Every structure is written in C-alpha cells, then in structure tokens.
A and B are shown apart, each in its own frame.
Chain A
Amino acid sequence: MALKCLIIEDDLNTSANIKEVLSTAFPTIEVIGLAATIAETQNILEVETPDFVLSDINLGDEVIFDFLKSFKKVPFKIIFITAYSKYAVDAFKFSALDFIEKPFEDETLIAAVKNAIANLNLEQYHKQMEAFFYNYNSAQKNKKLVLKNLEEVHIVPVSEILFVKSDNNYSEFHTTDRRKIVVSKSLKFYEEQLKGYSFFRSHQSYLVNLNFAKTFHKTDSVLELTNGEQIAVAGSKTQVLLHKLAQLH
C-alpha cells in the first residue's frame, strides 16, 4: 500500500527537489500534491487525505501553524521544514516532533521521512501537537516535555521532573506525581535538551532537578531531594554542585 504524501512549500525549487528525492528513495510513497500556500493546501485536502505531510513553516505571509490549529485532531503526521526559527525548533524538540532545517542534505530528508513513516499511529499525536502549541506560545520556563515510548506519549511539565536516571540507552523520568517514565533515548539527549533549566548531571547515571534539592550529604556524596530520594553525586562533580546550589537562591 502506497503512502500518500503532501508537500507544502512556497519555494518551488525546493518542493520540486523534495519530490524528486522522495520518489527516488521511497518507491512506495506517492506525492499527492505540491502546495505553495494555505489556500492551495486546503484545496488539496478537500480531495485527498495524506498519510504524512512535509511542510514549510513560513508560506509567504502565512504561517502553517495557524492552519494546523483549525484541526481538533491533526489527521496526518507532519515533518516540518524551516529555514530558521529558533522558537519553533525549540518547541519541536520539546514536543518530539519531526523537523528538518534548510538548507538540508538529501540524506537528512530521507532519514526524517523514514523515522516518520515507521510509526504513523496518530492515537497520541494530538497530545504532542497540543504540547507543541503550548511550548511555542509560552514562556521558556514553563515548557512541557513530551516523553514518547512505544506504548504511550507522556506530557510532563519540566518543572515537575524530579530527576532522570540513566539505564543503558534508556532514560527513566521520575516526576513529582510519582510517575516513572522510561524513554528509549539517552540521558545525554535530555541533558542537552534541558540545558538552561535547573538540571544538573550529578553523576553518570543521574540528571537531577536542583529545584528539588534538600540536603547535600558531603561525606556520603549524596544529594537528598525534597521527596526523600537519594541521588548519587560523583566526587568530581561535588565542587560544581556546591557552586550551583549556592547560585540557586
């Protein structure tokens, strides 16, 4: 069964290029149309329903998000394309949405499409979209992190994460409401993502939210959190931790 794909891009050269790359790399994908504006997009969607969409964010004066908000549940997966939009990129990352940045290599495009079509289940997708809109429009400190595994999509406000524990290539999130969420992404990935927040990599296996730090037991090299949880602190991190704790309040 062929997968239907819609390309929304106001730069005709780019959309032509994308179409060519797709048809070469994925014989099973059928490009159902090239739209340059939202109006053109609507026209196409009236006739057909794509399995996934490749969409530029800025279409002339228009922004694709305005159009996407009109759906209660977006009926297709989207790979966003952007030339530059720091806010959007940050929001994509937090919401675990697929995106590529211009100018891009053919391989980047191919990898993004592969990843998207691997799971076209839309059951939880609207949650992700909601989180995205929330993150895109809200102030930086109140972001919501989308944690996605095979079974579920969890939306966790950053301010409610107690700590993240590493287990091989999995990351285990512990939240204030006592949830434990396991995600198949490395701790390193989240450490990067949560930079600029009050998270601290206290140990090879721990990323801890210092907002919940209660006591630091120097002798045991253990950081006690407000919920009583004990977090290991590597000897080499002691000084940095003390410095950060002093800065905190």
Chain B
Amino acid sequence: MKNSALLFFFFSTVATLLAQTDNASVDNYLNLAKTHSTSKQDSAVYYSNLAYSVALKTKDTSLIGQAGYFHSYYLIQSGAYDEAEKLLDFNITHAANMSDRVLGSTHYSYGNRYYTEEVYDKALEHYLQGLSFYREANNKQGLSRTNLQLGVVYDKLGKKELAGFFYEQSLRYSERARQMHTTKITRGSDSTSQNIEVSKAMLQELEKEPNNRIKANVLFNLGKSYFEGKQWQNAAAYFQKSYALKTELGVAEHLDKNLFYIGQSYLELGQLESAIAYLSLATNVSKKRNQKVMIETALQQAYEKSGEYQKALHYAKRVTRMKDSLNTLRENDRIAEITSQFETEKQAGEIKVLEANSLLKDVKLNNQKNILFAIAIGVLLLLSSLFFAYNRHKTKQQLQFSEMTRKLLQMQLNPHFLFNALNGIQFFIKQNDTKKSSRYISNFSGLMRNILENSVEKFISIEEDAETISDFLALQQLVHNNAFTFSITMDENLDPQVYAIPPMFTQPFVENAIIHGVRGVKNGHILVNYSLEGDVIKIEIKDNGKGIVTKNKDANTLHKSMGTSITKQRMENLLKTENYPITLEVVSSKEENVDHGTQVTLTFIKKYI
C-alpha cells in the first residue's frame, strides 16, 4: 500500500507536468489493478481508483472516462454498484468527449452491473448499446465479450435461439470467446460426469497457481456438476470450498448463488439446519430478485420439512409477492420490448436475404398462379362450351318442334286437296246450288279453323278431333263426287268433351283410307270409331277399300308418305318429352282376291282435357 502511495505521489507530480506521463501512470495503475483482479479484489479496486484519480487531475475527459470505466469494472466485481454507477454516468453524460470504445465499455460495464443483479432488461439495454459503440470503434474484444454476455443473458431468459445467435457473433471476434463459449456450453449440458472430469482436471492445473477467482469459479462449477449429478454431499463440499475462496479473495460476485447452492445441497441431503443457515445467509447477501425467489423458495421448503410451518408460510408469501410483483411483470415487458427491438434490427438484415428468396418464390408462385389461371380458364371454357352445347341442344329441340309443327300444318293443309275442294265448291256456285255451296264452305272454314287452332295445342278434346274429321271427310266426299260414304261413331262410355288426344293424329290415317282405300272402289265406306277401353282411348279407322299398295309419285302419295313419317316422329317425340306412348296397329288383308280393306287402330293413354 505504501509502495503504491509513493508511486501515486510520484506519478501525480509528474502527471502535472506531462499529460504523456499522466497517461502512462494511468495505464500503469490500471495494469496493476488488472494483475490483482484475479486474486485480490480489494487491491484491484485500489489500483484502479488510483488510476482514476490521476486521470481526474489531467482534466482530460477522455482519459477520465477510460480510467473511470476500468475503476467501475472492479467496483462492480466487488459489489460497489452505486459508486461504479456514478463513474459510468459521468461517461454517458460526457459522451461527446468520449471515444466510441470507452462508451462501448461504459455500457458493457453498466450491463455487467445489472447482469450481476439479474436485472436483465437493463442489462440487455446496455449491452446492446455497448455493442453499437464497439461496432463503431471496431473493437473486436469489446464486440466479442458483449456478444458473449448477450448470449448468456438470453440463455438465462430461455431464448436459446437468440442466445445461439449472439454466441455465434461472439465467436466471430475472438478465439478466447470460443473457449469461454465452450465452457459455458458444456455447463448445463447433460454430460455431467464429463463436466466433473474437466473441472477436476482444471483444478489440478490450478493447484500450482495461487488462489484466484478462476479457481473459485472452477470449484463452483465442479459443485454444480455434482449437484446436477445429484451427488449432494460432493456438491455441498465443493460449493463450500468455492465460497470460502471467494470470501478470502473478497469476490462479491455470485456469492449469493454459491450460498444458495450450498443450502440447496444440504436441503437435498436432509440436513435442514445447515440448509436453513446457508439459505438465510444467501437471502441476506442476495440483491438479485430472481435469485432471491429461488433462495426463499428453498427456505420455505426447508422450514416445511422441519415442521416450522409458520416460517414456511412467511417465505411462501414473500416468494409469491416477489414473483407477482409489478416490477417483474414490467421487467418482462421491457425485455420483450428490447428483444423485439433488437430482433427487428436483426430481421432487417435477414429481410434482404428473405427478399431475394421471396423474389425467387414469387417467380415460382407466379408460375403456379399462371398454371392455376390457365386451369381456371380451361375449366371456364369447358363449362361455357358445355353450357352453349346444352343451349344449342335446347334450341335445336325447339327448332325441331317448330319445324314439326310447320310440317304438320303443311300436311293438314294439303294444298292439292284444298284447291280441289275449292274447285268442287266453285262447281256448286256455278250450278247455283246455294245450299250445297254454303254447306261445303262451312265445312271448309270449319276444317281450316280446327287445323289452325289445333296445330299449336298439345292436346285437344275428342270432340274437336271428331269435328275436324267430319269436316274433312265431307270435303273429301265433295272432291271425290260422293264416291264413298262415311260414318263417325262414339262409344257411349266415352265423353268426347272430357277426354283428350294429341291433335292431327287421326286425319292422316283417314286421308290414307280415302286415297289408298276407297278411291275407285264401289260402295266405299269409311268408319271412324272413338272408344274408351279401360285405361286407353282407341280410335279405329276402317275402310272397305283396296288395301295398301301403290308406288306412284304424285302429289298425293308424296304428301301421304310425308304424313306417316311425321306421325311416327311425333309419336317418338311425345314418348320422349311427355312420356306419352301411342301405339299404332295396321291390319290390311286380301283373301282370295277379296278386299277386306284396311283397319288402323290408334291407342292413346286415357287423358283428361
């Protein structure tokens, strides 16, 4: 001490003369402090204090800052947080005069101060600030250790991914960090026995050296390894050794933790008294809230086991209070906030990579989109073509129907027949036969009316059909000079006003009966009979004519063949569209050259008008 005082004196006098010598003295003191830091915490603080005092005298803020930082570093290690904080605050307020490196170190120290107290939100904040200053200064050592500390903090917070990220960052800057990292990583890994061996080997190495902080740490690690291996006895022993060494060296760091583990080990061993003693000590020493929670939880368990429920309850309450404290919640929020802030920055970098990736994906996606689009278009086209095909089919059907109606009308309005009929009527007019003229004109108009009206109906009453046939036969008689007779009969059980059949089915067969039956036959007769038989309506058209022959291609035969083909088509259509079947039976016989004429039978389903 005297030595150092002399040195101080000497250097301080020289320092007034030369800033250069001041700088040198500051460095000197700091080196001294560094050498003592591993063994004697107090000496380290002492020398750093000297360095700081010399720096103060130079009034060089930059130098003050540098020395102040070192001093604060040792102060924090010895647990003098308040004093350290003052020095660091000075640096922060005079940031304008400080180098980036000093500022980085300042924040790093601040981070350490909060880290040791386990105030992780503030620790993270300062570490991250420190990181940015170190980055400006391009200080590898600083970057390495700050990143490492960030990794440690996030590890403690259980954010393994982030921790991994910072560990990686740290490794980029330092080989030493790699070693520290590996020890940190092996800590907490499950290969307990391996850890024990490593720690023991390290201990043997350290035997040769004087007691220092590292030895204390290794002892602690060994204790922890045994603890994890559930070898409580050994754990307690090594924790105690570590504790003893730390008190000897004056190291304040992790004392509470050490004490807690001793207590916990005893608790596991069932040595409740010792456990309670160490834990009580630990809770008094500890300023870290989280650590305190753990300690007091253990205390509560210990009291519970020893049957001192009152005290157990006391600690239980304290633990819950601490856990639920608003502070904790706030702190958690802050941690989340800081983390997210950092993550945004980190992500900003990643975003660029992701953007490139997403661009690639976009192209792929676009391709897929195009394919999907093409498929959609294809489906649409298919659907629309189906729709149009269906529409076309429908219109085609409608067209077919109207075409058939037209043909039907043409068939009914057989012009050859009509003009012949008119010719016949004209004859009676010339003869001044008003009675006949008037009768045939009314037949003619009746037939016309029925044909025109019925052609648009799907079903007409039997009565209407019979009227049409009657007019038609009367006019045919006229045209054929009354060469045949006819009769239309109706069965009594068939009410002609009630039942219905499709229009213009009877007429073509009646026409055939005249042209191919009774024409040119003496005493020709045509009989049309309507009857109801069970569930069917029957129409019989009977003639006593020639039977079916002829191949002549005159207007009438052409007309006739058209008539039957249309009738057949209509029968098919009615079956398809109305599910209305019609059967046609033609019996034509010639026996021993005697004509028996032709009988056509049309059968319809009973249907009401």
Contact = CB atoms under 8 A, between A and B. Distances in A.
Contacts of B550: 61
Given A17-B430, A63-B553, A58 B416 contact: yes
Interface string B533-570: 00000000000000000101111110000000000000
Contacts of A101: 419
Contact of B557 (A13, A17, A61, A102): A61
B423 A83 contact: yes
A63 B552 contact: yes
Given A11-B481, A17-B427, A63 B554 contact: yes
A60 interface: yes
Contacts of B417: 83
Contacts of B416: 58, 83-85
B555 A13 contact: no
Name the residue among A60, A62, A63 with the largest chain B CB count within 10 angstroms.
A60
Interface in A55-86: 57-58, 60-63, 66, 83-85
B419 A11 contact: no
A62 B422 CA distance: 21
Interface in B59-86: none
A11 B423 contact: yes
B419 A103 contact: yes
B378 interface: no
Nearest to A63: B554
B420 A83 contact: yes
B520 interface: yes
B223 to A, nearest CB: 109
Given A12-B481, A13-B427, A17-B427, A62 B419 contact: no
Contact of A83 (B419, B425, B481, B552): B419
A66 B420 CA distance: 21
B417 to A, nearest CB: 8
Contact of B520 (A17, A60, A84, A85): A60
B554 A58 contact: yes
Interface in B243-293: none
A19 to B, nearest CB: 13
Name the residue among B419, B423, B426 with the largest chain A CB count within 10 angstroms.
B423
A101 B425 CA distance: 15
Nearest to B553: A63
A28 interface: no
A14 interface: yes
B415 interface: yes
A62 B515 CA distance: 11
B481 A13 contact: yes
Contact of B552 (A13, A62, A102, A103): A62
A248 B427 CA distance: 49
B522 to A, nearest CB: 14
Contacts of B430: 17
Contact of A58 (B415, B481, B516, B556): B556
A85 B420 CA distance: 12
B162 interface: no
Name the residue among A11, A62, A102, A103 with the largest chain B CB count within 10 angstroms.
A103
A103 B416 CA distance: 11
A101 B426 CA distance: 13
A14 B425 CA distance: 11
Nearest to A105: B426
Nearest to A85: B555
Contacts of A14: 423, 427
Interface string B403-433: 0000000000001111110111111001000
Nearest to A106: B430
Nearest to B418: A84
A84 B419 contact: yes
B362 to A, nearest CB: 53
B19 interface: no
Interface residues of B, number: 26
Contacts of A66: 552
B198 interface: no
Given A11-B479, A61-B550, A62-B552, A102 B420 contact: yes
Contacts of A17: 427, 430
B422 A103 contact: yes
Contacts of A102: 419-420, 422-423
Given A60-B519, A84-B419, A11 B424 contact: yes
A17 B433 CA distance: 14
Nearest to B478: A13
Interface string B477-488: 001010000000
Nearest to A37: B520
Nearest to A87: B555
Contact of A61 (B418, B420, B481, B554): B554
Contacts of B418: 84
B555 A61 contact: no
Nearest to B426: A103
A105 to B, nearest CB: 9
Contacts of A83: 415-417, 419-420, 423
Interface in A27-68: 57-58, 60-63, 66
Nearest to B425: A103
Contacts of A11: 420, 423-424, 479, 481
B321 to A, nearest CB: 102
A13 B424 contact: yes
Interface string A1-22: 0000000000111100100000
Interface in B38-73: none
Nearest to B519: A60
Interface in A91-121: 101-103
A127 B418 CA distance: 33
B423 A103 contact: yes
A13 B425 CA distance: 10
Name the residue among B519, B552, B555, B556 with the largest chain A CB count within 10 angstroms.
B555
A11 to B, nearest CB: 7
A154 to B, nearest CB: 30
Name the residue among B420, B515, B550, B557 with the largest chain A CB count within 10 angstroms.
B420
A11 B555 CA distance: 16
Nearest to B428: A13
18 contacts: A11-B479, A12-B481, A13-B424, A14-B423, A14-B427, A57-B555, A60-B519, A61-B516, A61-B519, A61-B552, A61-B554, A61-B557, A63-B552, A63-B553, A83-B417, A83-B423, A84-B416, A102-B420
Given A61-B554, A66-B552, A84-B419, 10 more contacts: A11-B481, A17-B427, A58-B416, A61-B516, A61-B519, A61-B520, A61-B556, A62-B552, A83-B416, A101-B419
Interface of A: 11-14, 17, 57-58, 60-63, 66, 83-85, 101-103
* 8 tightest Cβ-Cβ pairs between the two chains A and B: A83-B419, A103-B423, A84-B415, A103-B426, A102-B423, A84-B416, A63-B554, A13-B427
